Amino acid sequence: MRDAEQTRQNILTVAADEIHQHGFKATSLSVILNRCEISKGALYHHFSSKIELGYAVFEEIYTPMFLNVWHTPLDVDDPIEGLCDFLTAMTEDMSCSEVVCGCPLNNLCEEMANVDEGFRLRILSMQEQLNQLITDAFERVSDDLRTDLAGSQVGYFIVATLNGATSLSKSSRNKVLFQQVIAELCLYIRALKK
Amino acid sequence: MRDAEQTRQNILTVAADEIHQHGFKATSLSVILNRCEISKGALYHHFSSKIELGYAVFEEIYTPMFLNVWHTPLDVDDPIEGLCDFLTAMTEDMSCSEVVCGCPLNNLCEEMANVDEGFRLRILSMQEQLNQLITDAFERVSDDLRTDLAGSQVGYFIVATLNGATSLSKSSRNKVLFQQVIAELCLYIRALKK
DNA sequence: CTTGCAACATACCGATCGGTTGGTTATTAT
DNA sequence: ATAATAACCAACCGATCGGTATGTTGCAAG
């Protein structure tokens, strides 16, 4: 037909961008409709409600994006250096929209985790997967690491600090504070080695 | 008259609670009016707009609360231990509303910093003051600390991690992840000593 | 060629939002 | 006592929200 799948993907992409920019609640369906140049009937043909659209964005856009982004620096011989290089590169490559809008996962966590159970569980699962990626990578090279480390605790610590760093860049509207926190985080990560 | 100041304070207190629970945008003026048992005219007699009410809540409720909370653990002989004790106590004393609703400052930062300049500057100022409190306290005992530390970088790192930790507790709906991150943060903080 | 259904479009709905208007009540100064 | 004004109330406003009911279009199978 008129390529229903293309329409659906277009909605998801635009919705992902709007949610990233304005949060879920403040995202207006009518704005999505305008940007996609479709009618409300079209949107509700593909998604049964706003929140179902939100779930689809999370699962089909954000989740694969995140897993892909984090796999790359951790799937190397030295995940410690891989992670530090990755984080440092982030401070340099960070686009304006990332400085201002923050991390989609963290944003949704702040906004929706305490309001909607469906979002909360999806976010929690994503955070656990992220933590697993880190702990698995560190476990692989555990011979090079200190023996007093508490596995998953370290992983969550890194994730938490990174989230807090993006938060700081939002209020300062520049990368400086973000860079400082990441620099300190890299010091911490490298100190995990023996 | 009918104690205008009392009315004003009542509005501020209720608004602070609503904003903490639901965020600024999702906070409904009509809910505040119902809880305060006043009319819309009364509210608009004291505050010219919703956002001005928000600013007032930030300045008159959140700011003094924060400064007070952070001064206590840092104004002691050993701010390193004071801070660690404070953070550890947080993990134990944390009320349900704090687990679920997070930190008011961090919440507003996530929600409003990239949307409203007035909020952004107030939040940034608060974060800078917080960082200053920490760096001043650490500076006082710099003889006991490592010599390779980058002053404000450490302060922002601590603030960022704490914010990230509250974020994790939101999605997990319990204290465990929060406690893990704080435990690791305390390890980091104590390692600042010589 | 037609029938059927997926893929859309249009118009409308009730609810709620922040904000305004015009008036009333209470307190204070003269 | 009265005038002035601060403090407050009730009713209403336009705009926007997510969602729905009904109609139209296009493609594919029979």
Report yes or no on A49 lying in a domain: no
Residues 13-72 of B with CB under 7 A from strand C: 27-31, 40-41, 44, 49-51
User: How many A-B residue pairs are in contact by the CB < 8 A criterion?
Assistant: 134
Exposure string over A133-170, b if 16+ CB within 10 A, otherwise e:
bbbebbeeeeeeeeeeeeeebbbbbbbbbbbbbbbbbb
Q: Which nucleotide is nearest to A36 (CA to C1')?
A: C8
Report the run of H or E that residue A56 belongs to, with start and end. helix A50-57
pLDDT per residue over B53-87, tens digit each? 999 999 999 999 999 999 999 999 999 999 999 99
Report yes or no on B43 lying in a domain: no
Q: How many CB atoms lie within 10 A of CB B42?
A: 17
* Cβ–Cβ < 8 Å for A51, A116: yes
Q: Which residues are registered as beta bridge partners of A193?
A: A145
Q: Which residues are registered as beta bridge partners of B145?
A: B193
Distances (CA, A) of B75 to B58, B82, B136, B151: 24, 8, 10, 18
Minimum-distance CB partner of A157 among B106, B171, B185? B185
From first to last of the 194 residues of chain A, give the pLDDT tens digit.
578 889 999 999 999 999 999 999 999 999 999 999 999 999 999 999 999 999 999 999 999 999 999 999 999 999 999 999 999 999 998 888 888 899 999 999 999 999 999 999 999 999 999 999 999 999 999 999 999 988 899 999 999 999 999 999 999 998 999 999 999 999 999 999 98
Query: What's A140's DSSP letter?
Result: H
pLDDT exceeds 70 at position B1: no
Q: Which nucleotides of D are covered by protein (CB under 7 A)?
A: 6-12, 16-23, 26-28
Residue A140 phi/psi, 5° resolution?
-55, -35
pLDDT, averaged across chain B: 94
Three-state DSSP state, A145: strand
Cα dihedral: B189, A153, A70, A125 (round 10): -130
Q: Which nucleotide is nearest to B40 (CA to C1')?
A: D9
- Which of the four pLDDT bands, split at 50, 70 and 90, describes residue B93? confident
Most B CBs within 10 A among A94, A110, A158, hence the mutation to make, goes to A110
Place of tokens 């505050």: B47
Q: Judge whether residue B114 contacts strand C, using its CB and a 7 Å cut-off.
A: no
pLDDT exceeds 80 at position B2: no
* Cβ–Cβ < 8 Å for A74, A134: yes
Per CB-CB distance under 8 Å, the chain B contacts of A27 are none
- Residue B1 CA distance to nucleotide C26 C1' (Å): 7
CA–CA distance, A37 with B123 (Å, rounded to integer): 38
With an 8 Å Cβ cutoff, are A162 and B164 in contact? yes
What is the residue type of A95?
Answer: S
- The CA distance from A194 to the nearest CA of chain B, in Å, is 15
What is the residue type of A182?
Answer: I
Nearest to A169 by CA among B144, B14, B160: B160
With an 8 Å Cβ cutoff, are A177 and B156 in contact? yes
List the Cα angle B118/B155/B100 in 5-degree steps: 65
Percent of all residues in chain A with a pLDDT value above 90, rounded to a whole number: 89
Minimum-distance CB partner of A127 among B150, B168, B191? B168
CA–CA distance, B3 with A185 (Å, rounded to integer): 51
pLDDT per residue over A150-192, tens digit each? 889 999 999 999 999 999 999 999 899 999 999 999 999 999 9
pLDDT per residue over B21-65, tens digit each? 999 999 999 999 999 999 999 999 999 999 999 999 999 999 999
Report yes or no on A24 lying in a domain: no
CA–CA distance, A152 with A134 (Å, rounded to integer): 8
Q: Which residue of B has its CA nearest to A110?
A: B167
* Cβ–Cβ < 8 Å for A162, A184: no
Cβ neighbors of A135 (< 8 A, separation 6 or more) are: A151, A152, A154, A155
Report yes or no on B121 lying in a domain: yes
Report yes or no on A15 lying in a domain: no
Most B CBs within 10 A among A167, A169, A185, A187, hence the mutation to make, goes to A167
For residue A112, the enclosing domain spans 57-190
Nearest to B188 by CA among B167, B161, B163: B161
Place of tokens 């973000």: A178
Report yes or no on A20 lying in a domain: no
First to last CA, chain A: 61
pLDDT at B150: 87
With an 8 Å Cβ cutoff, are B157 and A180 in contact? yes
Tokens for A135?
A: 């702990």
pLDDT, averaged across chain A: 94
Q: Helix A151-172 vs helix B117-140: angle between axes, to the nearest 10 degrees? A: 130
Report yes or no on A173 lying in a domain: yes
CATH code for the domain of B116 = 1.10.357.10
Helix, strand, coil % over all residues of chain B, rounded to 5: 80, 0, 20
* A71: Cα separation from own chain's centroid: 13
DSSP H stretches of helix in B58-175: 63-74, 79-93, 96-101, 104-112, 117-140, 151-172
| Domains contained in chain A, number | 1
With an 8 Å Cβ cutoff, are A102 and B110 in contact? yes
